[in-house]
Amino acid sequence: MIGGRPWKRSPVRGVTAVAAVGLLLAACSSGGSPGKAQPLKTLTIGSSNVFPPTLDPTANASQAIDEVIDYNVLQHLVQLAPNGTIVPILASSWKVSSNNQVFTFTIRKRVRFSNGDILTPADVVFSLRRVFAPSSTYPYAKVFDVASVATVATDQVQVTLASPSWEWLYDLAAYSNGVILDPRTISSMATDPVGTGPFKVAGEVTNYSVSLTRNGRYWGYLPQVAGVTFRYFTNPNDLNAALQSGQVQMIDNLSTPQDLGLFKSNSAYRVTAGLTNGKVQLTLNNAYGPLQNKVVRQAIAYATDKAAIIKAASGGYGIPAGSDTVPADPYYLNLSGTYPYDVAKAKALMRQAGYGSGFPLALTLPPYFYAQLAAPLIVSELGAIGIRVTVSTIDFPLWISQVFEGGAFQATIIDHAEGRDIGNYGTPGYYWHYAQTAQVAAELRAANAAPTEAGWIAGYRQVLRQITADAVNDWLYIIPNLTVARKDVVGLPSTAYTESLDLAYVGLGGSIPAAARSLGFSS
């Protein structure tokens, strides 16, 4: 079954990644710290996330859990580096069958969990089977479509998918469903997840902080901090004050970009606007009255000024989206020029659709800053073409039950943060009620069965063009991940393509290995 093409997706990048990790391993055998030993300090990170409801990423979708635990405490067979490449972690190498259906992973040797247990292929089989078990409550519908997982050699695990997929390896790397667990510690996952990563959980204070300490048994490069503490702030002003007064050394994900001015001009801090997978969109209920008409949806896309919205909602950071894709996707197409800001054209389309005198539209918002900041502009811009928008804000659980589950809404503004989530357009009953769902699903399936990567990409791009031509939603912009850190914090990931804040190379002062820099960690 296994084809003779290891590193099929991208042979060159794959091999460099292995070489890079090899170099790092060599570099870290001495602990990685040059010069005389100084006591390491603890890095305190102020997070704008909510306090993690549990520390078990396999039990809850909260991004706050992945931010702390994924990659840092629990690792995957393969992971996504900040530069967007898939790198080997607990698998030292892997092979993919020619039809993209069978994946054979060679498990890295001499890896221990932070409690001393040795990582075995059986642990890998246990972890992957746990994802798609009938009683599974894993939070992502990813890595599920597996037919079987088995040990095939003393150090190899083979995964056979239900159907061929060009996406599966990426999903395994990027989504926290892919974490490898110690089967003997499952009962304590909620408070003390035990993994193979560079950090282990030291403790938590509910609604206040989570502390990690460096895992002395770590098999790779040891980060140059004694530990990392995440502190949680519900109020952005408190968070900014905490950075200014030195209580925290960095802010992960500044939720109010208008506050960037506080730090941008100050040479003591470094501001990073990392790329993400987050597509902020004006979701249109394609089943609601006037919005059933493609021409009306196109008019809305012409009527919204993306540049102005980026300025208002994202402090000028972020790039126009144009469709359900971001530059990190292999199938990325920049379609942001399809509907340039053109009020006259939008009005003409409204008349053509028979809505020359406009119609009322209810915009139901989640309580997030980006939605609140973008809404006033949307209201006035749609008002200019006769759409009378009324705005209401509801809390997120209500948003999920009413808008997302119930589909009882007309329009909303939401960040679709998941990577490569184009499959949503082929999901029957998905909340925006796109009429061509079945057709898109068939196209996506056909693309995944393509024998070559080029064929897969071409198939996905066809879907992108179609949903953009149909103006299913009005894609506003790709949201940036804004971090503000004191200058001496090194080794931070330069992008946020995953929900994890990957701290594998973090340090306070000093430098990071060159190989880590080439993977996209900042120096």
Residues binding other proteins (CB under 8 A):
50-51, 53-54, 56, 59-62, 135-142, 144, 190-191, 205-208, 231-235, 238, 241-242, 245, 247, 395-398, 400-402, 404-405, 418, 421
- Closer to other proteins at the Cβ: 359 or 396? 396
CB of 207 to other proteins, least distance (A): 4
Residue 66 φ then ψ, to 5°:
-60, -40
CB of 518 to other proteins, least distance (A): 31
**Cβ atoms of 234 and 256 closer than 8 Å:** no
Nearest to 313, CA basis, from 265, 263, 260: 260
- Residue ranges of E strands in 338-449: 359-365, 387-393, 411-416
CB of 393 to other proteins, least distance (A): 14
Q: ∠323-178-73 over CA atoms, to 5°?
A: 110
State how far the Cα of 180 lies from the Cα of 130, in Å rounded to an integer. Answer: 10
- Closer to other proteins at the Cβ: 56 or 182? 56
CB of 503 to other proteins, least distance (A): 22
Q: Which helix (H) or strand (E) holds 365?
A: strand 359-365
- Closer to other proteins at the Cβ: 415 or 443? 415
CB of 281 to other proteins, least distance (A): 13
At a CB cut-off of 8 Å and minimum separation 6, what does 53 contact? 60, 62, 64, 65
Measured torsion, CA atoms of residues 125, 56, 21, 82, in degrees rounded to the nearest 10: 130
CB of 341 to other proteins, least distance (A): 29
State how far the Cα of 347 lies from the Cα of 310, in Å rounded to an integer. Answer: 23
- Closer to other proteins at the Cβ: 332 or 396? 396
Secondary structure string (H, E, C) spanning 223-266: CECCEEEEEECCCHHHHHHHHHCCCCCEEECCCCHHHHHHHHCC
State how far the Cα of 373 lies from the Cα of 255, in Å rounded to an integer. Answer: 11
- Closer to other proteins at the Cβ: 158 or 364? 364
Terminal-to-terminal C-alpha distance of the chain: 43
- Closer to other proteins at the Cβ: 56 or 167? 56
State how far the Cα of 420 lies from the Cα of 86, in Å rounded to an integer. Answer: 14
Measured torsion, CA atoms of residues 294, 295, 297, 303, in degrees rounded to the nearest 10: 160
- Closer to other proteins at the Cβ: 43 or 310? 43
The amino acid occupying position 426 is G
CB of 347 to other proteins, least distance (A): 34
CB of 208 to other proteins, least distance (A): 4
- Closer to other proteins at the Cβ: 196 or 424? 424
